[in-house]
Amino acid sequence: MSHARYPEWQAESAEALIAPIVANEPGPVLLCLQAVQAHFGYVPGDAVAMIAEACNVTRADVHGVFTFYADLRDTAPPAVPVRLCAAEACQAVGGRELKAEWAKACGDDADLATLTGVDEPIFCLGNCALGPAALVDGELMGCADVARLKAAVAQAQAMGEGA
Ligand code: FES
């Protein structure tokens, strides 16, 4: 399933993204990785090799930078990613219970699970006063519960299909 927000991976597009970064920025590896992920939603292995060659460093060097930054991913994102805050303030107001309820909802609904992907923990969204907090397709939600998450997922999916 592709993500409506991102185009399919294309080496030519990635080359066009990273060439000006390599030409103009000192230490361009991270910037290249971020540019590819911003455009395609992830950094495929082909891009790691491409960035290594363009920056005249080894693949291991690029991989080292890639693995250091938890927000960089090497697989395409789900269509409507859902991430629940796993930090303390949200845990104190039901975040742990919400995580379990969301896991059950996804376990009961294979389509929902496929649509939203793995709930990769995220630590503090800066919305602590309105916990538990979540990100639904990159949009911040406070006072999250399963019903509101499902509604937001449906809305994001509808918007993605309309795009
Ligand atoms: S702890 Fe969850 S938003 Fe800050």
- For the CA of 125, the closest atom of ligand 1 is 3
Q: What is the pLDDT of residues 103-151, one digit of tens each?
A: 999 999 999 999 998 877 889 999 999 999 999 998 999 999 999 999 9
* DSSP state, residue 138: T
- For ligand 1, the distance from its centroid to the CA atom of residue 131, given in whole angstroms, is 6
Q: Is the pTM of this model over 0.75?
A: no
Cα separation of 81 and 113, whole Å? Answer: 10
- Tallying the residues shown for the chain, one arrives at 163
